[in-house]
Amino acid sequence: MTALLQVQDLYKIHGGSGDEQPVLRGVSFEVKDSEFVCIMGPSGSGKTTLLHLLSGLDEPSAGTVMLAGQDLAKAKEEDRTLQRRSQVGYVFQFFHLMPNLSVLENIGLPLAIAGKNPDKGAGRIRELGKKLGIEGRLDAFPHELSGGEMQRASIARALIGGQPLLLCDEPTGNLAQAAGREVMEELKRANAEEGRTVVLVTHNPRDAAFADRVLFLVDGELSDVTVEGDAVSEAAVTDALQRLSI
């Protein structure tokens, strides 16, 4: 299997005054095509920062991110944006829905940006809305939604474009247990049936148990401790978190 993502010796220092400590300090890993990888770590350990770098939304201070064979750091801003649009569906931790668009329009945005007729995608939008339990909210606007509904809308938007890589930042963080499980099952289905690669950030060992491999980000570095293959289970992940004092 080829690696859809290759991350080499990634450093990130936020801010520009020069005396900040790096949030990421030499992070390296690969994610294979169609793999489902979970990244866990304490709050503030740099998980969201890492996902931003993987998608090319932000630039590393050092190191490289190869996404589908393209070095994001070497690409021009415009090419990086095109690469992100074609390769990445992104579930943002804080949703980032467009306030002036309806839920239906928000979900269809990746289609509109890709130059496809969103009206033609309306059936698929409704189908995804139904699967995610927001079919009755498609005509509402983001400010009329609960946190859980916003989260589900942002998940539908990440899924609609069919991009090969799904980056999901705590996609069940605002959902009750049953709704969270449905979202995870939908992500797993996209992974298993459509072969889409998933990188999931979560605090929840139950969600992590959907992954093929669980990595732990501690003090800006990936721990040697991993849980993978047949060993992945909620109990094994909980145990690893305890061992790492996360």
Among 6, 49, 55, 197, binds ligand ATP (CB under 6 A): 49
Closest to 177 (Cα-Cα) out of 219, 122, 234, 245:
234
Is 57 near Mg ion (CB under 5 A)? no
Is 81 near Mg ion (CB under 5 A)? no
What is the rounded CA–CA span in Å between residue 6 and residue 101?
A: 35
Q: What is the total count of residues that contact Mg ion (CB under 5 A)? A: 3
- From the list Mg ion, ligand ATP, none, partner contacted by residue 45 (C-beta under 5 to 8 A by kind): ligand ATP
The binding track of 82-101 with respect to Mg ion, each residue x by CB under 5 A or -, is -----------x--------
The binding track of 66-105 with respect to ligand ATP, each residue x by CB under 6 A or -, is ---------------------------x------------
Q: Considering the complex, state which of residue 17 and residue 178 has its C-beta at the smaller distance from ligand ATP.
A: 17
CB of 27 to ligand ATP, least distance (A): 12
- Total count of residues recorded for the chain: 246
Tokens of 54: 């993987």
Burial class (CB in 10 A: 0-12, 13-18, 19+), 229: exposed
Among 9, 14, 130, 194, binds ligand ATP (CB under 6 A): 14
Which of positions 32-51 make contact with Mg ion (CB under 5 A)? 47-48
Question: Starting from the edge strand earliest in sequence, which strands make up the sheet with 88-91, in order?
Answer: 88-91, 165-169, 197-201, 36-40, 213-218, 221-228
Tokens 């866990």 found at: 40
CB of 51 to ligand ATP, least distance (A): 8
- From the list Mg ion, ligand ATP, none, partner contacted by residue 46 (C-beta under 5 to 8 A by kind): ligand ATP
Report residue 223 CA to chain centroid gap. Answer: 20
Beta bridge partners of 142: none
CB of 93 to Mg ion, least distance (A): 5
Is 55 near ligand ATP (CB under 6 A)? no
Q: How many CB atoms lie within 10 A of CB 215?
A: 21
Dump strand ranges (E) for 34-154.
Answer: 36-40, 62-67, 70-71, 88-91
The contact set with Mg ion (CB under 5 A) reads: 47-48, 93
The contact set with ligand ATP (CB under 6 A) reads: 14-15, 23, 41, 43-49, 93
